[in-house]
Structure 1
């Protein structure tokens, strides 16, 4: 499936951004321009069932296939957040970027201790005040974006992903030089998993005090943790 995309910048150097569940390209409202200022043409997608992309059948593999159908091969940088990190890792060998960044990726989705994605459906009707209370460090514009992306989201994506239990999605090794950004604390990436990822060859950096959506919770910390990768 060809996905809806949004671009920032006009450089020959390409960076691609893949959002998490319940979101779309608008989550990158600060990241896209920041990377464009660093000399990239930045492409942000809307995953199927999100934003302006089509609805359909949902699975982690289909999310990944759509990235391959939509994004150029050989980008300098590919960055995926949460579900976007999971989808990117399943597509990365085919996309063959020079570098990959996985921002608090949803590799343990469905495993013991990780939230059931079906629970996210309850959040679709959240009020402005609820989003603000849950994310006290977000700017008002990010809360507005969250409500808009929730309204454009198909909750069947979460229901489909709730059946991923017992599937080990953690990559055995990085297909390309790869950074894993970790929230502090992270409800997905445990300390033990951080150690295991480092053992497998990933660089792991924790953004102290940042919540799961690191780029909205601590934008400066998010960019700072990308030092040497962008």
Structure 2
């Protein structure tokens, strides 16, 4: 599936941005312009079932196939957050960016032993209000809260059901296909300290953004950008 995209900047140096579950390309409202100021042409996708992209069947494999169909090969930089990090990791061997950044990636999104129910995403989206989002994310700017409300309104909750397959397939990557940075929230409910050490052993650089929640780029934009030093 060809995905809807949003772009900032111009030029030959390309950066790719892939959002997480329930979100869309608007989540990068500060990151996109910041990378454009650094000389990148930035391309952010809406994953299938999100934003302006089409609907259909949902699975980790299909999300990855869509990236390959939509995005250029050999970009200077690719960043994926949460589900977008998992999706990027499953497409990176075909997209082959020069550098990849996985921002609190969902490699253990749904551990079966934890009894995780993907339906909680649907329930949250149905009940979400300005106050509940603000209460859960006290460090977000008002613009981020509004974006969250807008993206939830157009999100296809059926995408959450695809996470059931993820529960069976989840696991840390065997190695870094390209030079790769992992950003971890503090604490991260997706990457345990043991996970982070395993990733280092497998060739990833791991950096923690102190005090940041799961959506690092919205929780602590300056910390997010600072942790990319040497990678952008």
TM-score, L = length of structure 2: 0.97
Q: Please state whether the residue corresponding to 2:86 is helix, strand or coil.
A: helix
Q: Please state whether the residue corresponding to 2:105 is helix, strand or coil.
A: coil
| 4+ residue segments displaced more than 4 Å | none
Moved more, 168-177 or 22-31: 168-177
d(CA) in 1 for partners of 2:167, 2:122: 18
Matches within 5 A, 1:104-183: 104-111=104-111, 112-113=113-114, 115-125=116-126, 126-183=128-185
Q: Please state whether the residue corresponding to 2:67 is helix, strand or coil.
A: helix
Verify the 8 A CA contact 2:110 2:170 in the aligned structure 1.
no
Matches within 5 A, 1:4-23: 4-23=4-23
Deviation at 1:115, TM superposition (A): 4.4
Q: 5+ unaligned residues in a row in structure 2: which ranges?
A: none
Show the counterpart of 2:213: 211
Show the counterpart of 1:83: 83
Alpha-carbon RMSD across the aligned residues, in angstroms, is: 1.1
Matched pairs, number: 230
**Per-residue Cα deviation, 1:169-202 (whole angstroms, up to 9, x for no partner):** 3110000000000000111011110011001110
d(CA) in 2 for partners of 1:17, 1:225: 16
**Per-residue Cα deviation, 1:75-99 (whole angstroms, up to 9, x for no partner):** 0000000000000000000000000
Matches within 5 A, 1:33-72: 33-72=33-72
d(CA) in 1 for partners of 2:117, 2:104: 16
Q: 5+ unaligned residues in a row in structure 1: which ranges?
A: none
Deviation at 1:164, TM superposition (A): 2.5
Provide closer, same or farther for how the CA distance between residues 134 and 160 of structure 1 changes in structure 2, counting only shifts above 3 A.
same
d(CA) in 1 for partners of 2:125, 2:67: 25
Moved more, 52-61 or 121-130: 121-130
d(CA) in 1 for partners of 2:115, 2:76: 31
d(CA) in 2 for partners of 1:94, 1:163: 22
